[in-house]
Amino acid sequence: MNPNVRPVHYNIHLYPDLTTFKFKGTEEVLLRVVEPARAIEFNGLEMKVLSAAVTVGGAVWPVKGVSENAEKEAFVVELEKEVPVGEAVLKLEFEGEINDKLAGFYRSRYEYNGQSYYLGTTQFEPCDARRAFPCWDEPACKARFSITMTVQKDLTALSNMPIKSETTEGDLKTCVFDVTPVMSTYLVAYCVGHFEYLETTTEEGIKFRVYTVPGKKELGRFALDVGAKTISFFAKYYGIEYPLPKQDMIAVPDFSFGAMENWGLITYRETALLCDESSSFVAKSRVAYVVGHELAHQWFGNLVTMEWWKELWLNEGFATFMGTKAVDHLFPQWQVWTKFLNDHVFRALRVDALRSSHPIEVDISVARKVDEIFDAISYAKGASVILMIESALGEEPFRKGLNIYLNRFKYGNAHTEDLWQGLTEGSGKKVSNIMDPWVKKIGYPVVTVEETGQPGKLKITQNRYLAAGDVKPEENETIWPILLGVSTQSHPDIKYVELNTKEAVIDVDVSSNTEWIKLNAGQTGLYRVQYSAALFKRLGDNLSALSARDRAGLQNDAFALAIAGSISVVDYLELVSKFTEETNDTVWSDIFANLAVVRKLFDSPSMEKFVLKLVSKIGGELGWSGKPGEDESRSSLRGSVIATLGAVGDVAVIEEAKKRWTAFLSDKNSLPADLQSGVFYLVAKNGGEAEINQMIEVYKTSTLPAQKVTALRSIGSSRNPELIKKGLEYMMSEEVRMQDRFILLAALASSKVGRDICWDYVKQNWSLLEVKISHNLLPRIISYTCEDFSTPEKAKEVEDFFSQHKVHGTERTIAQTIESINSNTAIHSRNVAQVSKYLEQFN
């Protein structure tokens, strides 16, 4: 946008019509004219500007004309003569559509008492406020907003602020909302529809509500309780009161992402907000985390906002980290910092191991391009880097630094450097020196550790880690500042050693030279560790002495090193075979995920036996029924163990799953939620058309959002080509919401037979998919269908197809997908002979 004028205050009056799905609006923007202006430019997309008028000091300033620049997603009001520096008012009338694109002002459909209804809602981040009203749609163009809505009188209208006054005339009512604080356009929100709500008040007296479509409010009780406590937690943690007089959270049936942190009116996908006491641990912990994440943004992101999308990670990395902190505070028994490894750190390490990754801070010239960086790098790597800095500074200095930063920039915008400055002042340590390479450079290191022959002295080397395993010198120039956590058999308390060079010899506390030594102890660092063969074996033989986090880290590093070819897949399997005594759900969940990858590449009956032998002990201990008062995490582990046992052909487990399914069909309360995912999957995988139809019925009729998703995913578990094709047809039918189509596709493409069928389908129906899948979800369609292929022919096919079918905004995903296929191909050919020989012993 031309910086000659800046918005100060928007007065917006909207007239949405939920029968024609059109809206009209009038807008008066108080502008600060910074330089004499002959033209006023603002953003607007897929709307009509019906009239424009300008006044200066109350006097009409003649307008020459209004023109649209569709490419810039903007309009220009040309003036007869220059507006001088000072204040001016721009008055506009406009109209647009309540669309089906899950972006801008859009509609969402739901059923109630057998009838279909629509509600209207908004999704503006990153740059779709311009679809809903004319605006300066950039995060740094902060202004106040006075919003008024005229709607059918039986509907509820919500916005960022509480309603100040309401008047009725005929069938319509007009709701005037209080003026907002100074804020960015992407955080403005409004909803209109038939809603119901639950209400509470936080400890500090903030009115707090959870809204749903009719019939669902009771499913919001858990989120209401968690949310109110989380607001109080953050107010204390940040040392700054919650900035608005109210907070609403609303579950929207059609929603593209997980949730959106609109200030004072957070919107959610139903699965991210609604659950009940009977819901699975996975469903409940997701709700608690997403609520924590969005509420963290109310300060970090909303009160203080990144200057431009290039620093998106500041918002997302931080909210991811803080969301976890809030859940840990409310539910210490859940051990979410261990789970954080799986959900965020390992995920970041996986994506950032590709050449087609990007630095955390990435140049974004056009706002539209930011869609593709709402990715694992911004969220997961961002959060992992923040965990690293907190552990380097200490919790309290970190919190103090954060408070300095938020107070300094409140109601304004800030850069990454500003956060480092705050943290430096809070801790007395120069933070930018430590953090810059982690934020500005692509990738991360693998630390190689060898014994020197002298007791207590280790040789350490750091190099860039790439999944492809072929790092070139020019890709290996970064020296990462590493705070190396070390723990040893005789001195298990973690000691930190600073590593600021490519190579070093470090001292470690050991009493003998046969001790185990764990590096990255506590797993707060974002790097891999490769041990000498002797050190690696010693750790594998002493798993019970390590913490769950360290066991998870050791195993995940070994898997990554096998991917890169630094060790063999057999070395990895040998380590994993020592985990038979494991009891931690996070550790198992990562082992299951990694073994699923290994099984995709080396699928064979002997591989299934290997997994069966590994899991049988914990499977026997957990059985099918929980003990009274057992941990939720243990109950959740039971579900995934059963799914794994059944997946590798445990006949007794499959039979029991079928029995439980039959019982479930006649009594929906008979199957504990934690078992549902495993049972549904095994029944669909081993059943026929009848079971798939039953699954579709559960999907259609279930009132529990998480159970619906579980059923949908299970529809995709069949290995029968005809049923896979039927699944694809179902995916595109009106019964599956656009936001959920990729969930079914991911399941359908998870087997070898399914992958080929899905890929054929995607190729043949690409133009249909472009219409039926919203633009921001297309990257997932590409990666879920193709990333597990493992031959050079497929890599070429994918490359050729997408070079002929270009979609703006999917370039990075395509590059990452092709790189994954090439990596799979290399792992397979390098290991196939050795793996089958190793697995023979399990026959």
| Secondary structure in 3-state letters for 15-74 | EEECCCCEEEEEEEEEEEECCCEEEEEEECCCEEEEEEEEEECCEEECEEEEEEECCCCE
| Contact status: 591 vs Zn ion (CB under 5 A) | no
Can you spell out the DSSP letters for 401-469?
HHHHHHHHHTTEEE-HHHHHHHHHHHHSS-HHHHHHHHHHSSS-EEEEEEE-SSTTEEEEEEEE--TTS
Cβ-based nearer residue to Zn ion, 308 or 496: 308
Report d(CA 267, CA 254) in Å as an integer. 10
Annotated binding-site residue? 293:
yes
The strand pairing partners of 42, in sequence order, are 75
Rounded Cα distance between 191 and 98, Å, is 11
In the chain, the amino acid numbered 747 is: A
Decide: 510 and 455 in contact? Cβ < 8 Å.
Answer: yes
> Residues near 463 by Cβ (< 8 Å), separated by ≥ 6?
445, 446, 448, 471, 476, 502
Q: Could you identify the residue written with the tokens 């934020």?
A: 439
Please, what is the minimum distance in Å from the beta carbon of residue 374 to Zn ion?
9
CB of residue 308 vs Zn ion: minimum separation in angstroms?
A: 17
The smaller minimum CB distance to Zn ion, of residues 299 and 680, is found at 299
Provide CB contacts within 8 A for 740, sequence distance 6+: 709, 712
Q: What is the dihedral of CA 158, 162, 164, 166, to 10 degrees?
A: 30
State how far the Cα of 227 lies from the Cα of 229, in Å rounded to an integer: 5
319 near Zn ion, judged by CB under 5 A = yes
In the complex, the smallest distance separating the C-beta of residue 323 from Zn ion, rounded to whole angstroms, is 8
Stretch that binds Zn ion, among 68-76, 316-324, 506-514, 572-580 (CB under 5 A): 316-324
Residue 643: which region, alpha, beta or left (left: phi > 0; alpha: psi -120 to 50)? alpha
**Size (the chain), residues:** 843
- Give yes or no for a contact between 189 and 267, defined as CB atoms under 8 angstroms apart: yes
Q: Nearest distance from residue 258's CB to Zn ion, in Å?
A: 8
Query: How far apart are alpha carbons 67 and 75 in whole angstroms?
Result: 6
Stretch that binds Zn ion, among 318-326, 383-391, 499-507, 636-644 (CB under 5 A): 318-326
Q: Which of 22, 70, 101 is CA-nearest to residue 739?
A: 101
At residue 136, what are phi and psi to the nearest 5 degrees? -95, 95
Cα 509 to Cα 512: distance, rounded to the nearest angstrom: 9
Nearer of residues 316 and 590 to Zn ion, judged by Cβ: 316
Amino acid at 673: A
294 catalytically annotated: yes
Nearer to Zn ion, 248 or 316 (CB): 316
Task: Let me know: does 457 contact 507? Beta carbons within 8 Å.
Answer: yes
- 427-432: long-range pairs with CB below 8 Å, 24+: 427/393, 427/394, 427/397, 427/398, 427/400, 427/401, 428/397, 429/392, 429/393, 429/397, 431/389, 431/393, 431/401
Buried b (16+ CB within 10 A) or exposed e, 775-802: bbbbbbbbbbbbbbbbeeebbebbeebb
Q: For the sheet containing 63-69, what is the strand order?
A: 37-43, 74-83, 63-69
Q: Confirm if 310 and 362 have CB atoms less than 8 A apart.
A: yes
Nearer to Zn ion, 300 or 527 (CB): 300
Residue 505 Cβ, how far from Zn ion at the closest point, in Å? Answer: 43
Contact by Cβ (8 Å): 568, 831? yes
Residue 297 annotated in ligand binding? yes
Residue nearest to Zn ion (CB): 319
Least separation in angstroms between CB 294 and Zn ion: 7
Count other Cβ atoms within 10 Å, centred on residue 755: 22
Is residue 329 part of an annotated ligand binding site? no
Site string for Zn ion, 536-565 (x = CB under 5 A): ------------------------------
Q: Which of the residues 125, 261, 270, 294 is marked catalytic?
A: 294
| Minimum CB–partner distance for residue 261 and Zn ion (Å) | 6
Q: Residue 195: CB partners within 8 Å, gap ≥ 6?
A: 119, 156, 158, 211, 212, 213, 214, 250
Interaction of residue 272 with Zn ion, rule CB under 5 A = no
d(CA 311, CA 318): 11
Interface region with Zn ion, contact rule CB under 5 A, candidates 101-109, 163-171, 317-325, 732-740: 317-325
| Burial class, 551, CB count within 10 angstroms (exposed 0-12 / middle 13-18 / buried 19+) | buried
Count of residues of this chain found to bind Zn ion when the rule CB under 5 A is applied: 2
Q: Three-state DSSP class for 111? A: strand
The 276-315 contact track toward Zn ion, x by CB under 5 A, reads ----------------------------------------
8 A C-beta contact, residue 84 and residue 35 = no
Side chain identity, residue 186: Y
Contact status, residue 515 vs residue 490, Cβ threshold 8 Å: yes
Binding positions for Zn(2+) are 293, 297, 316
Q: Which residues are near Zn ion by CB under 5 A?
A: 316, 319
Binding positions are 293, 297, 316
Q: Which residues are catalytic?
A: 294
